[in-house]
Amino acid sequence: MNITKDLKKLVSKEEDINLKNKKTDILDSLDLTYSLQKEEYKYTPLLKIVDKKFDLLKENKDQISQKSYEEVAKFVNSKFYLISVDGYFKSELSNIPPKVKIKKYSELEREEKDTFENMYQKHDDSKSDFFSSLNSIIHEDCLTISVDSNTVLKEHITIININENYDVNNYRKMIFCDKGSEISIFERFINLKSDENFSSSVSEIYQAENSKLNYYSAQDFKENYHYNSINVFQKRDSVSNFFTMSFSGSIVRNNLNICLHDKSCYTNMYGFYAMNDKSLIDNHTSVDHVDENSLSNEHYKGIMGGRSNGVFNGKIFVRKKAQKTNAFQSNNNIILSDKSKVNTKPQLEIWADDVKCSHGCTVGQMDDDAIFYLMSRGISRKDSISLLLSAFSSEIIEKITDEKMKSLLTELIKKQLEKFNDE
Amino acid sequence: MLKIKNLHASVEDTKILKGLNLEVKSGEVHAIMGPNGSGKSTLASVIAGREDYDVTDGEINFQGTDLGELGPEERAREGIFLAFQYPVEIPGVSTTNFMKTAVNQIRESKGEKPLDAVAFLKLMKEKMKLVNIRQDLLSRSINDGFSGGEKKRNEIFQMAMLNPKLSILDETDSGLDIDALKIVSNGVNALKSKENATVVVTHYQRLLDYIVPDFVHVLIDGKIVKSGDKNLALELEEKGYDWIKPGN
Ligand SMILES: Nc1ncnc2c1ncn2[C@@H]1O[C@H](COP(=O)(O)OP(=O)(O)O)[C@@H](O)[C@H]1O
Ligand SMILES: [Mg+2]
């Protein structure tokens, strides 16, 4: 690979010795990582396209944001929010909640650094996904979020990442949820740049015993390219709930990797995507049951219109020690046009014997019987179809217990579904 | 009110209705009986405007309008209602929301203002009583997990909400025990008036003890082969359909 040389240069400039070692390590396995792309990106030519269109290795400068704040204000719908521009966290634009420490990696005190050094690049996929490798090596300064033990934040924190000045932006964050803490995050990406761009975002999340995390994301990338990798490491009795909603983007690739490392961990992974035009949405998830008595529950649903493509790949690993595991997975798709396509694949590897596991995927069209039933009561075809599509999405929306988040996401979905009216 | 002349309909090149004639006037109750597969549900669906069926010949005229070009929703707005033999389950849409949308779209098509929440609730309460249906059932997804009887009661509830001119009840009695049958029939009878008409499709005589027809027609192999009064139903109950040969 010709970029290895340039990456080496980047790594050699790294001043933090610890980071330098980690980056060197990633660099050393880059060939192997690269070779994995072929299978893991079978239907998603993201690398080929972004490599041709953009200079992936260009370094961004931390600029003072000119216009972001006002335009961003309309995306902020919570008291607390964290804003990053072009990959750099901007504390001056943010409103930081109490009992949550939010800093750039470079600003951490020695003892704070220990926590993050220990988790940094430990459980992410920088050795199995080439984009995460690139992000790990290139990104300048990681955002760190540390939630004190037993801190419970009722209201969600909005994380807003703004692409303002560059056509390639790398975001990186680590979240440390200490024992018994409970927080919710709503993450969004905004393009203030009119040209095409590529953004990559890698997150590492560590959940200590008894912690709880709700993580919502709404992805609306228009004509842009996006890579997102969220990696979660859960300790005993912790709970995570993910809601990943995707509405547009030339190519959007989401990796969600969850490691249920201890006994009695729970995770719910929900996703909803509604795509049209020529967009491509690829959700690759994995959940690793390491110890006894844990539960993973995954349900992704999608509506594909226009010439859109969908990819779903769900891996479930149940290790030998992970007896009494419950692991459920399903993926349901409605295809609205004969030019759209979905490739969906579950992948299960189970080494324990006392396990309850189920998986299923469906790809179908609108139910004609249901449309006729609604129309026979005087409802127009257009409204019958939107009733059915919003009903299809409601199964995911109903899983959101936070009323504010529920109505925010319902509204976003509604707007997106209206786009299907012309089909 | 309804005039069907020489109706031919087919699905995917299979001919199902083969020259059917029927006239229904306001204030009348007609029963259509016939063996399984004779085309009763097809007739009901074709009148309601289901697009999967091709009308290859003949016409359906409703109150002076040729229905030929009208979609199912337009027919409903004209006052045609079909109570389905197999009501469709629709997870994620509540019957309440469904009916609110339907009632208001029908009103809108007539240039009337939509009902506000209070007026709608009042209408619902009134019609719920008629078929003895509980509020919580209507807040649930349409027919989702309903028992057979609940589904049929929901059909009659919808009929009451929409107040149609012509109601076609397709096997509304099937799967009902005697109590549910009485509730459903009482509902239908209460909605009957001089201005509207009812077509009851059934293959048992039992329902006709409760909803008494003015005319009984026998549909065999896509055609009405015999018509009579309610005594014809009793005769069919006793002798079956074999004694009626198409063409007799
Ligand atoms: N959508 C369809 N596709 C294929 N065949 C159909 C369809 N609908 C009805 N039929 C056929 O048409 C005939 C009449 O069916 P139907 O109208 O349901 O009869 P009935 O209600 O009198 O029992 C049957 O032979 C049935 O198999
Ligand atoms: Mg039938």
Question: pLDDT: is B238 or A79 the higher one?
Answer: A79
User: Can you tell me whether residue A295 is helix, strand or coil?
Assistant: strand
Is the CB of A395 inside 8 Å of chain B's CB atoms? Answer: yes
Phi/psi of residue A306, nearest 5 degrees:
55, -135
Q: Indicate which of B75, B85, B93, B166 best probes the interface with A, i.e. most A CBs within 10 Å of its own CB.
A: B93
* Atom 6 of ligand 1, nearest CA residue: B11
- CA B169 – CA B31 distance, rounded (Å): 9
* Distance from the A384 Cα atom to the nearest Cα atom in chain B, whole angstroms: 9
Residue B166, domain member (yes or no) = yes
- CA A148 – CA A83 distance, rounded (Å): 21
The average pLDDT across A111-123 equals 84
Q: Indicate yes or no: CB of A395 within 8 angstroms of CB of B92.
A: yes
- CA B76 – CA B70 distance, rounded (Å): 10
Q: How many helices (H) and strands (E) does chain B have?
A: 8, 12
- CA A352 – CA B27 distance, rounded (Å): 70
Res A332 pLDDT > 80 = yes
Cβ burial, residue B235 (10 Å; 0-12/13-18/19+): middle
User: Can you tell me whether residue B17 is helix, strand or coil?
Assistant: strand
Q: Indicate which of B45, B50, B90 best probes the interface with A, i.e. most A CBs within 10 Å of its own CB.
A: B90
In terms of residue numbers, what domain contains B15?
A: 2-209+227-244
Q: Please compute, for residue B236, the number of CA atoms within 13 A of its CA located in the half-sphere on the CB side.
A: 28
Number of other residues whose CB lies within 10 A of the CB of residue A63: 12
- CA B79 – CA A124 distance, rounded (Å): 62
Per-residue confidence band for A117, with pLDDT thresholds at 50, 70 and 90: confident
Q: Indicate yes or no: CB of B72 within 8 angstroms of CB of A375.
A: yes
Task: List all residues 6 or more positions away from B98 whose beta carbon is below 8 Å from its beta carbon.
Answer: A374, A377, A379, A387, B90, B142
How are beta strands B54-62 and B65-66 bridged, if at all? antiparallel
Could you give the angle at the alpha carbon of A13 between the alpha carbons of A9 and A15, nearest 5°? 155
Number of other residues whose CB lies within 10 A of the CB of residue B241: 17
Residue B215: closest CA among B33, B62, B17: B33
- Contacts of B21-27 with CB under 8 Å at 24 or more apart are B21/B224, B22/B217, B22/B224, B24/B166, B24/B197, B24/B199, B25/B1, B25/B197, B26/B1, B26/B165, B26/B194, B26/B195, B26/B196, B26/B197, B27/B193, B27/B194, B27/B195, B27/B196, B27/B197
Q: What percent of chain A has pLDDT over 70?
A: 98
Q: Is the CB of B37 under 6 A from ligand 1?
A: yes
Is the CB of A70 inside 8 Å of chain B's CB atoms? Answer: no
- CA A380 – CA A403 distance, rounded (Å): 30
Find the length of chain A. 423
Distance of CA A304 to the CA centre of its chain: 19
Could you give the angle at the alpha carbon of B183 between the alpha carbons of B177 and B184, nearest 5°? 85
pLDDT at B247: 53
Res A47 pLDDT > 60 = yes
Number of other residues whose CB lies within 10 A of the CB of residue B145: 9
Per-residue confidence band for A68, with pLDDT thresholds at 50, 70 and 90: low
Residue B32: closest CA among B210, B184, B228: B228
pLDDT at B248: 46
Greatest mean pLDDT among A161-170, A226-235, B201-210: A226-235
pLDDT at A1: 57
- Using CB atoms, pick whichever of B82, B90, B101 lies closest to residue A376: B82
Residues of chain A in contact with residue B102, where contact means CB-CB under 8 angstroms, are 374, 377-379
Residue A342: closest CA among A326, A363, A321, A365: A363
Residues of chain B in contact with residue A372, where contact means CB-CB under 8 angstroms, are 48, 50-51, 72, 88
Residue A93 has which token pair?
């634009």
Res A423 pLDDT > 80 = no
E-only strand ranges, A291-379: 295-304, 309-318, 325-335, 341-350, 355-364
Res A421 pLDDT > 80 = no
Task: Give bridge partners of residue A314 from the DSSP assignment.
Answer: A285, A346
Judged by its nearest atom, the ligand closest to the C-alpha of residue B172 is 2
Is the CB of A365 inside 8 Å of chain B's CB atoms? Answer: no
The average pLDDT across A245-267 equals 97
pLDDT at A119: 82
Judged by its nearest atom, the ligand closest to the C-alpha of residue B18 is 1
Number of other residues whose CB lies within 10 A of the CB of residue B136: 7
- CA A403 – CA A391 distance, rounded (Å): 18
pTM: 0.89
The average pLDDT across A247-274 equals 98
The answer to whether the beta carbons of residues A391 and A245 sit under 8 Å apart is no
- CA A63 – CA A165 distance, rounded (Å): 8
Q: What percent of chain A has pLDDT over 90?
A: 83
Residue A271: closest CA among A312, A326, A239, A327: A312
Signed CA dihedral, B12, B13, B17, B20: sign only: positive
How are beta strands A198-207 and A225-234 bridged, if at all? parallel
- CA B21 – CA A196 distance, rounded (Å): 64
Ligand 1 site-directed mutation target among B8, B11, B174, most atoms within 8 Å of CB: B11
In terms of residue numbers, what domain contains A132?
A: 2-420
Residue A168: closest CA among A60, A253, A68: A60
CATH label of the domain that carries residue B143:
3.40.50.300
Angle separating helix axes A46-53 and A130-138, nearest 10 degrees: 40
DSSP string, B98-110: HHHHHHHHHHHHT
Residue B222, domain member (yes or no) = no
Phi/psi of residue B73, nearest 5 degrees:
-70, -35
Sheet of A239-248, strand order: A88-95, A80-85, A157-163, A182-191, A212-220, A239-248, A266-275, A295-304, A325-335, A355-364
Signed CA dihedral, B162, B166, B171, B177: sign only: positive
Per-residue confidence band for A112, with pLDDT thresholds at 50, 70 and 90: confident
Number of other residues whose CB lies within 10 A of the CB of residue A23: 23
Residue A162 has which token pair?
């703004």
Residues of chain B in contact with residue A392, where contact means CB-CB under 8 angstroms, are 92
Cβ burial, residue A319 (10 Å; 0-12/13-18/19+): middle
* Chain B, nearest residue to A394 by Cα: B92
User: Can you tell me whether residue A54 is helix, strand or coil?
Assistant: coil
Domain count across chain B? 1
Res A67 pLDDT > 70 = no
Residue B96, domain member (yes or no) = yes
- Using CB atoms, pick whichever of A367, A369, A378 lies closest to residue B105: A378
* Atom 9 of ligand 1, nearest CA residue: B42
Ligand 1 centroid to residue B34 C-alpha, Å: 13
Domain count across chain A? 1
Q: Indicate yes or no: CB of B71 within 8 angstroms of CB of A375.
A: yes
* Distance from the A153 Cα atom to the nearest Cα atom in chain B, whole angstroms: 31
> Which residues in chain B come in under a pLDDT of 70?
245-248
Residue B185, domain member (yes or no) = yes
DSSP string, B83-96: E-SSPPPEEEEEHH
Q: Please compute, for residue A352, the number of CA atoms within 13 A of its CA located in the half-sphere on the CB side.
A: 23
Task: Give bridge partners of residue B11 from the DSSP assignment.
Answer: B14
Residue B238, domain member (yes or no) = yes
Per-residue confidence band for A420, with pLDDT thresholds at 50, 70 and 90: confident
Residue A171 has which token pair?
């975001």
